[in-house]
Amino acid sequence: MSAPPDSGGRSARGYAPDFLTELFRNPLDPGYADAAARRRESPAPPRWRGTSGRAVSIVVIAVVGFLFAVAYRETVAEEPSRDQARAGLIAQIKQRESETDQMTVRADRLREEVGRQRDAALSGSQAARLRNLEAGTGLGRVRGDGVVVRLTDAHPKDGDAVSGDSDAGPSRVIYTDLQKVANDLWASGAEAVAINGQRLTATSTIRSAGAAILVDFRPVTSPYEVTAIGPGSMRDKFDESRAAYLMRRVAKDTGLSFQVRDAEDLTLPAAPEPRLRYAEPSVSPSPSPSGSATDRKSSPGPSGSGTSPRPSGGVR
């Protein structure tokens, strides 16, 4: 960028010491001034040059207008396609979720059917033992009194799982919060735990995928309700646990909400049947039905994800 010709009699060419200051002071291309000065010095150019130059600049102006129109159309055309893609994805997710729900309902029905048939086939005490085992392992629906722990994001926006556009926004509950709460509920004596209606079993996982939290690979969203059935002392024990202490601190600092309340007559759904691919039941039909949870080996999480809360001794 050369200095303007009127700056203190300096010659027109030469770099200004401070480019930005010069830019602010004299934004016009100095070429115009140069051209004007040249015209003053030399006689007018031949007539044909003047007209052809004029024509070219008119063409350029038309090109500029063309460019504006194209850019405008391009921007306008891009917007709906992006929205459409997002809406399509959301619709797909919703549809798949409802499909899964339907199939889950069907599976539940079939499982109940199986249970009935089995009860009919087995003797009374055996059937009762089986039902107890199912309830204990999370494969059967259970009822009882317990506590409900409710965690809510700071500003409950409808953040969807697809777009991460609510990141860096208000404070959100993260998957480790749910893990800690679930673990400390187990540690406080809970016998059955569910998160937003997803029953936790020995192989359940709580993990994050992007901005979403997945419990057993199904997304759960705020508000998160961790329900647990257990003894009457569970509430007090949990209130004194590390998770409750930590979450209270977090809630105070960041504005997300954390509530613990007693609840009566909770019903926790059954967890889907785990598909055991590697572990096979060893055939020694003599486990004592009254075997306490600590006797059993706690099974590790599936495929080494390492984030599964373990029902027995799951405190870390």
Q: Smallest gap, in angstroms, from Cβ of residue 44 to another protein?
A: 13
Q: Smallest gap, in angstroms, from Cβ of residue 86 to another protein?
A: 19
Q: Nearest to residue 209, comparing CAs of 174, 250, 182, 249?
A: 174
Q: Which is nearer to another protein, 65 or 291 (CB)?
A: 65
DSSP 8-state code for residue 8: T
Q: Nearest to residue 226, comparing CAs of 179, 285, 278?
A: 179
Q: Smallest gap, in angstroms, from Cβ of residue 222 to another protein?
A: 32
Q: Which is nearer to another protein, 17 or 31 (CB)?
A: 31
Q: Smallest gap, in angstroms, from Cβ of residue 6 to another protein?
A: 12
Question: Distance between alpha carbon 198 and the CA centroid of its chain, in Å?
Answer: 17
Q: Nearest to residue 170, comparing CAs of 222, 226, 242?
A: 222
Q: Which residues bind another protein (CB under 8 A)?
A: 23-24, 26-29, 31-36, 39, 50, 53-54, 56-71, 73-75
What the block records as the tokens of 209 is 């995928």
Q: Which is nearer to another protein, 7 or 95 (CB)?
A: 7
What the block records as the tokens of 208 is 């994050």
Q: Which is nearer to another protein, 69 or 128 (CB)?
A: 69
DSSP 8-state code for residue 170: S
Q: Which is nearer to another protein, 22 or 153 (CB)?
A: 22
Question: Distance between alpha carbon 67 and the CA centroid of its chain, in Å?
Answer: 40
Q: Smallest gap, in angstroms, from Cβ of residue 38 to another protein?
A: 9
Neighbours of 269 (CB within 10 A): 16
